[in-house]
Structure 1
Amino acid sequence: MDDSSRRFPERRRFLEQTSLGFGWLAFNGLLADRSFAADVHLSGPRAAARAERVVWFFMDGGLSHIDSFDHKPRLVAENGQPLKLPGKKEDITGRTTPNIMQSPWTFRPYGECGKMVSDLFPHIGSQADDIAFLHAVTSPSPDHESAIGFLHSGSLLQGFPSVGAWANYGLGSDSANLPGFVVMGSRKRQCRTNGFLPPSFQASQFFGGGTEPLADLKPREAFRQLQDNKLRTVRQLDGLFLEATHDNRIIEAAIANHEQAHSMQASVPEAAELAGESSATLAHYGVGSANQELDAFGRYCLTARRLLERGVRFIEIASNGWDQHDKLKTDHAKHALAVDQPIAAFLADLKARGLLDSTLVVFATEFGRTPNTELFGSEPGRDHHPWGFTIWMAGGGTKGGTSHGSLDDYGYFPVEGAVDIHDIHATVLHLLGIDHKQLTYRHSGR
C-alpha cells in the first residue's frame, strides 16, 4: 500500500459513513451536466433529434393486449371453445385451460382514425389520433424478472444498462440542478439500473410529491449547519485526493456532484410541489381523487410534466399489479382506472403546452396475456404471453392515429410487422438523435 492509500480513506466508504444528508439515491442520481459526465463515445455527430425527452409508462405484470388495445372479434365468436392453433406454446403455469375467453370489455372506435380501444381505457382512447400502436411486439421470456429486464435493457442477463440510463449517458440532463433520469412508482432495479455504466447514470427514484419526493434528500433543519460543515470537509478532502491522484476529471466531477446534490435540495421539492397548479389541472390528472391509486398516479404524471419542463431527460412511471392469473375483470379494471385518466391528461396537457412534439411518450408492458382462460381462484384470468402484445408511442416524431403490425385472429402470433424490444430501444434513441450503433462505452476491455 502506498502513502496516498494510507493517508486517505476510500472515498465511497467515507461518504457513506459521514452521511451528507442528501442521501445515496440523490448522490447516485447526480449528474447530469454533460461537462461532468463520463466520456461519451459517439462515433459521429448527433443526428437531428425529433424528441428532446422521453416519458416511459410501464405497466408492471403484463397488461392484456387483447383486453385493451388489440381488438379480436374472433374471441367473441369462439368464446368457450378450445383454442386450436398450430404451433401454440406450452402453458406457463399449467393451470391454463384450452378454452378461449372473450374480453370482458367492449371495444369502441375512437378518433378520426377509428382505432378500436376497450372500455378499460376510454380516456386514452380519446387520444388515439396522437398515438402510434405497435401490435406485434415480441419478447423472448415468459418470466417476469427476465422479461422486465429485457424490456428495459434488451438483455436477459443482469448487469446491462436500462434504456433510460443509455439516454442519460448519451445526452445528460438539460438542468444542472435535476437528474437526467428519474423513476417513479417502482423500486425494481431493472427500471433504474445503470448496469456497467458509471453509477451517476442510474435513475433517481422519486415518490409522490410532498416535501420529500426523493428519499433522504433534505436534512432536518436542525442539521443544516452540520451538513454544510460536512460538505466543506468533503470539498477539502477532494482537493487532497486531487493532489494525490492527479486524476483531474474524476475528482473535479466529484466536487461538482456534491454541489449539484446540494442544489437539488431546493430544486427537487420545488419541481414536485403541485400547490401552484390550478384546481382544473389537478382534477384533470385525478389529483385529489378519493381513489388513492388514481390520486397517486395522477401526482406522478403531473410531477413528470413539471420535471420535463425543468430539463429532465428521461422519466419512467410504473403502475404495478397487472399480473392477473385470476380476477382479470376485477383487477385489470382497478388498475386501468388508476392510470387511464392521468395518462390521457398528460398527453393532452403536453399537447396544449406545445411539448408533445418534442416529448416521446412510450406505454409498455413486459408481455401480454393468453387468449385462453387460466383458472386459478374464483374468477378467471389469463397466463403470460410474450409471443405477441402491444406497446404504443405518442409525440416526439411518431405518427399518431396509426397501427403497425398485427397478430393472428386470436391475438397469439405475429402475422405482419413483428417488432423486437431491440427495435423499440433503437427507435427511442433514434428519435432522440442517437444512432444506437454509435453509442458505446468501454467495459471489461470491450
Structure 2
Amino acid sequence: MHDSFSRRHLFRRSGAGFGSVGLMSALASDQILAGDASVSDGLHHRARAKRVIFLFMNGAPSHVDTFDPKPMLAKHAGESPNDHSVDKKNRAGGYMPSPFQFSAHGESGVVMSELFPKLADHADDLCVVRSMHTDVPNHEPGLLLMQSGHQQPTRPSMGSWLSYGLGSENANLPSFIALSPGLPVVGPQLWSNAFLPGQHQGIEIDTNHSDVEKLIHNIRNPHLSRSDQREQLDLLQKFNQIHRQQRPGEASLETHIRSMELAFEMQREASEAFDLDRESQRTRQAYGDSEFGRSCLLGRRLLERGVRVVQVFYVKKNSKQPWDTHRNNNSGHEKLCADADQVTAALLSDLKRRGMLDDTLVIWGGEFGRTPYAQVDKDKDPKKAGRDHHHTGFSMWLAGGGVRGGYTHGATDDFGMHAVEKRVHVHDLHATVLHLMGIDHTRLTYRYSGRDFRLTDVHGRVVDDWFA
C-alpha cells in the first residue's frame, strides 16, 4: 500500500465496499491493520469491551421506584405538579411517592430500591445513570430512538452498526442476535439493518421455548447427512458464483449467498450454542425458568461463543410492553422487578465467574421512564394508580466492559421530573457504547442515498465519566 494512502482515505474510498463483512474483519483479513497496535482490538482505538448485551425493559420502568429515590414526593404527595410538561388530559393525578424503601449498597454506596435485593450484591459493578433523557414520551418513536438513534423506522439498529463495524468473532454464528419471546411494539425494525448490507440484520430468536429445534426451525435436515448437504451446497455455491460474476455490485445477492453458507454452518454450531440443557442444573436454577431468564442464559452462551451483540427484549408472548404500568404501578413493579432482579443478578454473577464481565458490556433500561405523579382511572382509585410515560428524566445502568463500577452519574430534580445534572441523551449513550467497543461514533459511517449516515447522525458525545 502506498504510504500516502491513509486508513481514513481507505475508509472514504471504500464506502459500502466493506459492507459484505464487518469493517474490522475485512481489514484484519487483508492485513491492512497489521502492526497498528492502536486498533488491534477495535476499529478506531483500543476497545474496552469486546461484546455487548442490552437488557431492554419494554414499556419503560419507573426510575423513582427503582434507582432514583425522591423523598420530596412523599412530602408533597397528592399535590398537582406545577409543570408545563404535565398532560392534564391524560388522567394526571398528584405526586405519588414510591412505596419502596431505598438504601445504599456495596462499598461504593450505590442506592437502589428494595425491589432489587440480589442486584444489590453487584452494586460495586454498576454505573447507574440517573440523568437520561430522550425526545418523546411515546413508545414507537421512543423505542426506535433508543435502538437506532432515529424516531422513524428507516435507520439501522445499534446492533447492526456494531456488526457492520466489528463483524463477528465466530464465522459460524451471526454477529447480532435479538432474543425476543414475543413481538415488541414496532417489531423487527428494532433489530433492522435498514440500508446496511443484509448480513448485519439482527437474527430474531423466539425464546418461549428451550428446545433447540423449536428455537431454530429446520436446524436439522431430515433427509440428508451433513456430508451430503456440504456436497450439495458446494455445487449450489459454484452456480451462485457464476451468477454473481454476471451481476457485479449487487449487495443483496452477496447477502443471499452468504446466508446459505451461514445457515449450513449454524446447523452444527447453533445446535450446541442454543442447547440450554448443556448448562448445569444449578446455573439454570439461578436464572430461573421465565422467558427473560431463558433469554439471558442463552445470551450468555452466545456471547461466550463469539456473537458480538445480543439484544434481550423483556416481552412476553401476549404482552408487548410489560413495564408499561399505566395502572397498578406498584404491584406491577413488584412482580416485574422480582423476575428482572433474579435474572440480571444471575447474569452478572455468571459473567464474572467465567471471567467475561471485564470485557462484556451489560446495559439495562427502557425507552424512557415513568411519571413521578400518578395516573388514575376514572374512579380515581389510588390503589390502582399507575404512572404515565416520562421522557425528560429517567435511569439506566451499565456494568462490565470498561465501565466505572460503583458510580452514580447525574441527577434529576427533587421530584424526578427532569434531568438537571450531567444530562445524558440517548445519542450520548450510543456514542459512549461505540467508544467502549473501540469505535469512534463520528467515523463509523455508511454512504446511502447521497449522504454519509451514522448511528448518532450529527449528535452525540462520549461520556468519559463512565470509564473505569
TM norm structure 1: 0.84
Q: CA offsets, 1:257-289, max 9 Å, x none?
A: 4222101012112111122222221121124xx
Q: Residues 259 and 167 (structure 1 numbering): CA distance in 2 closer, same or farther, change over 3 Å?
A: same
Quote the offset at 1:128 in angstroms. Answer: 1.1
Distance in 2 between the 1:162 and 1:257 partners? 19
CA contact (8 A) 1:101 1:372 kept: yes
Quote the offset at 1:223 in angstroms. Answer: 6.6
CA contact (8 A) 1:325 1:376 kept: no
Aligned equivalent of 1:338: 339
Structure 2: runs of 5 or more not aligned: 1-19, 34-38, 316-321, 452-468
Matched residue type, 1:77? K
1:274 to 2:265 alignment: no
The alignment-based identity, stated in percent, is 40
Aligned equivalent of 2:92: 96
Q: What is the 5 A alignment of 1:22-421?
A: 34-35=25-26, 46-84=44-82, 87-91=83-87, 94-97=90-93, 99-185=94-180, 187=183, 188-208=187-207, 209-212=210-213, 214-219=215-220, 221-222=222-223, 231=233, 234-245=236-247, 254-287=256-289, 295-320=290-315, 321-376=322-377, 379-421=384-426
2:444 aligned residue (434, 439, 443)? 439
Distance in 1 between the 2:60 and 2:250 partners? 47
The DSSP-based 3-state class of the residue aligned with 1:182 is strand
Q: Residues 243 and 397 (structure 1 numbering): CA distance in 2 closer, same or farther, change over 3 Å?
A: closer
CA contact (8 A) 2:21 2:164 kept: no
Q: CA offsets, 1:198-231, max 9 Å, x none?
A: 1210101123331236443425514769977874
CA contact (8 A) 1:160 1:194 kept: yes
The DSSP-based 3-state class of the residue aligned with 2:447 is coil
The DSSP-based 3-state class of the residue aligned with 2:278 is coil
CA contact (8 A) 2:127 2:397 kept: yes
Distance in 1 between the 2:370 and 2:310 partners? 26
Larger CA deviation: 49-58 vs 198-207: 198-207
Distance in 2 between the 1:363 and 1:217 partners? 33
TM norm structure 2: 0.80
Quote the offset at 1:374 in angstroms. Answer: 0.4
Distance in 1 between the 2:438 and 2:112 partners? 31
CA contact (8 A) 2:205 2:216 kept: yes
CA contact (8 A) 1:56 1:316 kept: yes
Q: Residues 147 and 250 (structure 1 numbering): CA distance in 2 closer, same or farther, change over 3 Å?
A: closer
1:425 to 2:441 alignment: no
Matched residue type, 1:149? L
Quote the offset at 1:193 in angstroms. Answer: 1.0
Q: Provide runs of 4+ in structure 1 moved above 6 Å.
A: 30-33, 223-230, 248-253
Distance in 1 between the 2:412 and 2:46 partners? 33
Q: CA offsets, 1:391-430, max 9 Å, x none?
A: 1100111101101110011000122111010000000000
Quote the offset at 1:304 in angstroms. Answer: 1.0
Q: CA offsets, 1:288-337, max 9 Å, x none?
A: xxxxxxx2221111111111110000001111311111111222222222
Q: CA offsets, 1:242-261, max 9 Å, x none?
A: 34235598867654442221
The DSSP-based 3-state class of the residue aligned with 1:403 is strand
Distance in 2 between the 1:251 and 1:274 partners? 34
Distance in 2 between the 1:253 and 1:95 partners? 50
Quote the offset at 1:233 in angstroms. Answer: 5.9
Q: CA RMSD in A?
A: 2.8
Distance in 2 between the 1:35 and 1:251 partners? 19
Q: Residues 164 and 217 (structure 1 numbering): CA distance in 2 closer, same or farther, change over 3 Å?
A: farther
- Aligned length, in residue pairs: 404
Matched residue type, 2:128? F
Aligned equivalent of 1:3: none
Matched residue type, 2:283? T
Distance in 1 between the 2:121 and 2:88 partners? 35
Quote the offset at 1:381 in angstroms. Answer: 0.2
Larger CA deviation: 409-418 vs 107-116: 107-116
Matched residue type, 1:34? S
